[in-house]
Structure 1
Amino acid sequence: MSDADPGLLPARLGYLLKHAHLRFAEASAQALAPLGIDGRELAVLAVLAADVPLSQQEAAKRLGIDRTTMVAMVDVLEAKGLAERRRSPEDRRKNIVQLTAHGQEVLRKAEDVRVDAERRFLAPLPSDEAETLLRALRTLAISG
Structure 2
Amino acid sequence: MVSDGEVPPAPPEYRLGCLLHQVQAKLARASAEALAPYGVDGHDLAVLVVLATGETSSQIEAAARLGVDRTTMVSLIDGLEDHGLVERRRSSRDRRRNVVRLTPSGRDCLDRADRARRAAEHRFLAPLDEQTAATLMRALRALVVEEPAAKRSGGHPP
TM range (shorter): over 0.9
Greater helix percent: which structure?
A: 1
In the TM superposition, what are the counterparts of 1:41-80 in structure 2 within 5 Å?
41-80=44-83
Tell me, in whole angstroms, the C-alpha distance in 1 between the residues paired with 2:65 and 2:54. 14
- Residues 61-109 of structure 1 show CA distances to partners (whole Å, capped at 9, x for unaligned) of 0001011100000011011111111111221110011111100000000
Tell me, in whole angstroms, the C-alpha distance in 2 between the residues paired with 1:135 and 1:56. 31
Secondary structure of residue in 1 paired with 2:101? strand
Tell me, in whole angstroms, the C-alpha distance in 2 between the residues paired with 1:19 and 1:78. 33
Tell me, in whole angstroms, the C-alpha distance in 1 between the residues paired with 2:141 and 2:108. 28
Query: How many equivalent pairs are there?
Result: 141
**What stretches of structure 1 move > 3 A for 4+ residues in a row?**
none
TM-score (norm 2): 0.85
1:116 aligned partner? 119
Tell me, in whole angstroms, the C-alpha distance in 1 between the residues paired with 2:104 and 2:82. 14
Secondary structure of residue in 2 paired with 1:20? helix
Pair 1:26-2:29 in alignment = yes
1:105 aligned partner? 108
2:95 aligned partner? 92
Secondary structure of residue in 2 paired with 1:105? helix
Higher Cα radius of gyration: 2
From the superposition, tell whether residues 112 and 106 of structure 1 become closer, same or farther in structure 2 (CA, over 3 Å). same
| Structure 2: gaps spanning 5 or more residues | 3-7, 148-158
TM-score (norm 1): 0.93
| Structure 1: gaps spanning 5 or more residues | none
Q: Which amino acid aligns with 1:130?
A: A
Tell me, in whole angstroms, the C-alpha distance in 2 between the residues paired with 1:29 and 1:128. 26
Tell me, in whole angstroms, the C-alpha distance in 1 between the residues paired with 2:103 and 2:126. 34
